[in-house]
Chain A
């Protein structure tokens, strides 16, 4: 029972982290109609910035704060210098240009930081596990990720649903041309949305950094999951991204945790241990395929007319 709770927490933590990445992606895709494959590079840059700043300042918290600002700035500069010229173009052009950006960022990182990767050590108070209920110890850092991500999700919800900017963002997701025609400075809105998306990706990257390592191409595998999430959740929908991310995180973690044991009932132990990792990594894509067949718009599509 305790193990199940622990695995559910693991799934929740992974899901929330995926949400931070997917939220930026779905905003940019839904509102700006822009396919940004380089979103994973911003995730990577967040981690590299945090690791560098934390080493310079000697403080994890200051390093993280500076890195967030730096990724936000990087996103805005990127939008201003490169991406803004691509908005009117075809999706294929977006894919080509942002794929180029992935290569650019990977090699830039190799030039600046070298191929070996970096570490982002945690302060000691985040390395000790905490006892949640008697007998259930959980890593305090993973718990911190859950708290921070939930807070960011709540803030995002408030900003999008309760503020004027949020209203414009929602309007942009529903009908881009119309809000431009109404005299809203759509260019500024786009820059802002892209910067926000970049900061969220950077946050996901730097929070993942102490668990994994900071390395070149770290954003590429996880970006695929983020795309799966926005397809399942409905493109442009923050709420959809949130629920889909939790769903995907749970399926991934619980699949890894329980698929081998379940398979051992039907297969030989050797065959089960070979098939289980393959099967559990397929589950998410199966889910996406089912959603695409049943509801091609995604589970919670942003309202469109």
Chain B
């Protein structure tokens, strides 16, 4: 019995250790590391690790400890893991988040505890607008920005009408709203599918064909993008109803999409061939270390590590100075692999979007290539709703 008291006492002491007194920079990284979408999570982790390698695994002279947590693709699990990182690991920063619905579920504990958050993918409109926070930054985009760029491109191509298909969750709604915000042609119909369980899109493709629309726009990230392209091709729509995409074709899905992806354009703020030095180093070192190319998920994670580093360096490793870290991060003072960009008042990037296409490389492998710049210095539509100035 006595030993039980001793143990309890020791445990209390261990818990009572203040986090700031640690000599390491602790970062929690939440992403999906199991199931089919683990491909994305692994790409993010690999890129984050590569960024740490490039920094000598130290920030402002202090060693960095990263705790990776698997959200298993579920909002409730993501929230639990986030709470665990804040309450029991006392991390200085949280980064990651692929899925908008997982991020929205996890946001409150982060903001309430004033933990610094660097979002490396998800960009729900709420977080850019009314839910914006001084402690939340994004190294990716707001969901609407990329499809809005696709809509611009469709205007350039003089597309007269389109049928929109996307998954029924936070990001899917943002994406379709995004393309509608810029596309000037007629919307012949829009369909939302059950996410993530619906994988057969036959009913939606039949409706798209019957609608008489000139083209189709879709948003299907991860494995769903492979399935959509399979079924789109099998339905014989390729060549008849051109497909425009956001976040549907990338380096994690191309090995499975293969030739189905050829000739299907998309928009992105980062493509592997962007000609800046930071990007060349990132892509070639990534290839050397992991034997395949990084995706945009990885590029955003690499930038997330750099943004965190810029904050830690600015306060010389004293992560209790949150106001100073925030001010340092607002400057976006690091060599981003997408080229230089600025943060808006809501801490989302103001950045260029490029048209990307699938091409067969010299080695016969499919890869992505920048074709043109669609929009310059795009800022999301929700920054006005954010009370921060």
Binding site for B on A (CB under 8 A): 2-3, 6-7, 10, 13-14, 115-119, 121-122, 126-129, 137, 139-142, 210-213, 215-217, 221, 253-254, 256-257, 260, 273-274, 276-278, 280-281
Contact = CB atoms under 8 A, between A and B. Distances in A.
Which one of B35, B190, B255 has the highest number of Cβ atoms from chain A below 10 Å of its Cβ? B35
Contact of B194 (A129, A141, A253, A277): A277
B192 A213 contact: no
Contacts of A128: 236
B36 A253 contact: no
Contact of B206 (A10, A119, A121): A10
A139 B226 contact: no
B199 A212 contact: yes
Contacts of A122: 234
A215 B198 CA distance: 14
B256 A2 contact: no
Interface residues of B, number: 38
Given A7-B206, A115-B36, A281-B197, A139 B227 contact: no
Interface in B18-60: 34-36, 38-39, 42
Given A211-B234, A276-B192, A142 B168 contact: no
Interface of B: 34-36, 38-39, 42, 168, 173, 190-194, 197-200, 202-204, 206-207, 209-210, 223, 226-227, 230-231, 233-236, 252, 255-258
11 contacts: A3-B206, A116-B256, A129-B234, A210-B234, A211-B230, A211-B231, A212-B230, A213-B223, A256-B198, A277-B194, A280-B194
Given A10-B203, A213-B256, A139 B192 contact: no
Contacts of A253: 202-203
A70 B223 CA distance: 26
B191 A260 contact: yes
B282 to A, nearest CB: 22
Which one of A10, A128, A221, A280 has the highest number of Cβ atoms from chain B below 10 Å of its Cβ? A10
Contacts of A257: 203, 206-207
Given A129-B235, A215-B36, A116 B255 contact: yes
Given A139-B235, A215-B36, A216-B35, A277 B202 contact: no
Given A117-B223, A281-B194, A217 B36 contact: yes
9 nearest CB pairs, A to B: A129-B236, A215-B36, A10-B202, A3-B210, A257-B203, A139-B234, A277-B168, A115-B38, A256-B203
B260 to A, nearest CB: 9
Given A115-B34, A139-B235, A280-B194, 4 more contacts: A14-B202, A116-B252, A212-B200, A278-B168
Contacts of A117: 36, 39, 223, 226, 256
A119 B192 contact: no
Contacts of B200: 14, 211-212
B203 A7 contact: yes
Which one of A2, A213, A216 has the highest number of Cβ atoms from chain B below 10 Å of its Cβ? A213
A142 B35 contact: no
Given A118-B256, A129-B236, A210 B230 contact: yes
A221 B198 CA distance: 9
